[in-house]
């Protein structure tokens, strides 16, 4: 399992470099990211979260009992639409908290698979939100930068408490006694 980089590590605020399409080393990295994501009960993970500044994400928003990960090389949001919706989001790099983020419900994303084939996916719901969240990571944005100013202040305070209590990646809430 790869080590997950947690905030406030400055690496999380850097923009990732595009991947070389067809790069064979991406398959190994994607599989390692996939294992790390599942081991921490995540539904998405971006390469910067494991210390690699490449434009690669892995997402799986399907049923928990079925694993069907999508490995997305150089994903790019083509469009988002719909009235913005607020929902709580957790993040492997910001353990112990959930943050209210406003996002448009639909996203259309272009990406390449690990074989170098180009795809376009449209989604709403959890997958639409997850795609936007993980692509934010590739652009150097964490939950804190995606939140409204008021929510950001609340989230930063809650995150400091969670860190002091020992929150680990995969934990979305932690009480004051350090229990998830």
- Going by C-alpha positions, the residue among 120, 96, 86, 81 that lies closest to residue 40 is 96
Catalytic residue among 17, 86, 122, 134: 134
Question: Phi and psi for 84 in degrees, rounded to 5?
Answer: -55, 140
CA distance 135 to 123: 14
Indicate if 66 belongs to the active site: no
Instruction: Count other C-beta atoms under 10 Å from residue 60's C-beta.
Output: 21
CA distance 98 to 116: 35
Q: Is 81 helix (H, G, I), strand (E, B) or coil?
A: strand
Q: Which residues contact 89 (CB under 8 A, 6 or more apart)?
A: 98, 99, 100, 101, 129, 133, 143, 146
Active site members:
134
């Amino acid at each position: 399992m790869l080590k997950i980089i947690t905030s406030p590590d400055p690496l999380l605020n850097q923009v990732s470099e595009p991947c070389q399409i067809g790069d064979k080393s991406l398959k190994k990295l994607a599989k390692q990211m996939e294992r790390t994501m599942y081991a921490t009960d995540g539904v998405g993970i971006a390469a910067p979260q494991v210390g690699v500044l490449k434009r690669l994400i892995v997402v799986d928003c399907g049923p928990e009992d079925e694993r069907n990960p999508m490995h997305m090389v150089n994903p790019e949001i083509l469009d988002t639409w719909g009235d913005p919706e607020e929902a709580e989001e957790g993040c492997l790099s910001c353990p112990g908290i959930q943050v209210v983020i406003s996002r448009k419900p639909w996203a259309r994303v272009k990406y390449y698979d690990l074989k170098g084939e180009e795809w376009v996916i449209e989604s709403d719901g959890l997958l639409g939100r997850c795609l936007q969240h993980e692509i934010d990571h590739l652009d150097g944005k964490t939950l804190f930068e995606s939140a409204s100013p008021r929510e950001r202040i609340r989230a930063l305070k809650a995150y400091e408490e969670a860190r002091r209590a020992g929150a680990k990646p995969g934990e979305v809430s932690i009480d004051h006694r350090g229990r998830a």
